[in-house]
Amino acid sequence: MASNERSFVLWLHGLGDSGRANEMYLKDRFTVPELAGTKWAFPTAPSAPVTCNDGAIMNSWFDICNAPITSKSVRGLDDVLESVQKVHAIIDKEISDGTDPGNIFIAGLSQGAMIGAMAIGSVLLYPNTLGGGAVFNGFLPFNSPVEDRIFPQAKKTPILWCHGMLDTLVPFEAGDDGKEFLQKLGMNCEFKAYDGLGHSLDEMELEYFQEWLKHQLGRSSKKSHFSACGLFNKFCS
């Protein structure tokens, strides 16, 4: 990525967590020069009753009816779509401020991954190709009926999906099912299984995520260069 280009990472926390807590944990972990100018945002979900936790009020992007969460678990689609719209508003604002969509990334853990669960839902239903979506121990927040709402441009957004093989809250099979769903859509989904990891973030995952971000930003920069060359050949070496 060229030094004058903007990039943006939107990180979505898991059930009962907060953006502030995630920011404190993550903000100093991405230190490579390629990400030095990257803007990060850590929004907090609204507080709402959560069915699987006996109606307890907590920060939640959408209601979860039961746990463990599988690919066949009941989804409150209206709930999901409402949160997706909020995420899209953040992305739209960032684009209007001058960030290229190809330099925008959505990432999240568990419910926040919505593909972690919120990350994938937001990527799939956005009417443009983004830089990428990263899911950590996530699940698809909806099933096949939503396929008709998925934009062709969104299918070009690359996905990184990391899942712990010992996860008991969102079992590994839920992640594997999500990967297959995305691949059937024709999407580029890199799936990484972590032996011995439960429902949590791991240093190895975050290190790989950092390298993945660097790679995707490099690809975006090359695309921008080639596009410019197509219009202004005499200025390109």
Q: Is 199 a catalytic residue?
A: yes
Say which of 60, 73, 83, 199 is annotated catalytic: 199
- Inter-residue contact 108 to 141 (CB < 8 Å): no
Query: 29 is written with which tokens?
Result: 């972990």
For residues 154-167, one letter each, b for 16 or more C-beta atoms within 10 angstroms of the residue's C-beta and e for the rest, the string is: beebbbbbbbbeeb
Say which of 7, 60, 83, 110 is annotated catalytic: 110
- Inter-residue contact 140 to 120 (CB < 8 Å): yes
Say which of 73, 100, 167, 221 is annotated catalytic: 167
Q: Is 163 a catalytic residue?
A: no
Q: Is the peptide bond before 68 cis (omega within 30 degrees of 0)?
A: yes
Q: Is 167 a catalytic residue?
A: yes
φ and ψ at residue 193, rounded to 5 degrees: -100, 135
- What's the CA angle centered on 44, arms 136 and 60, to 5 degrees? 70
Q: Which residues are catalytic?
A: 110, 167, 199
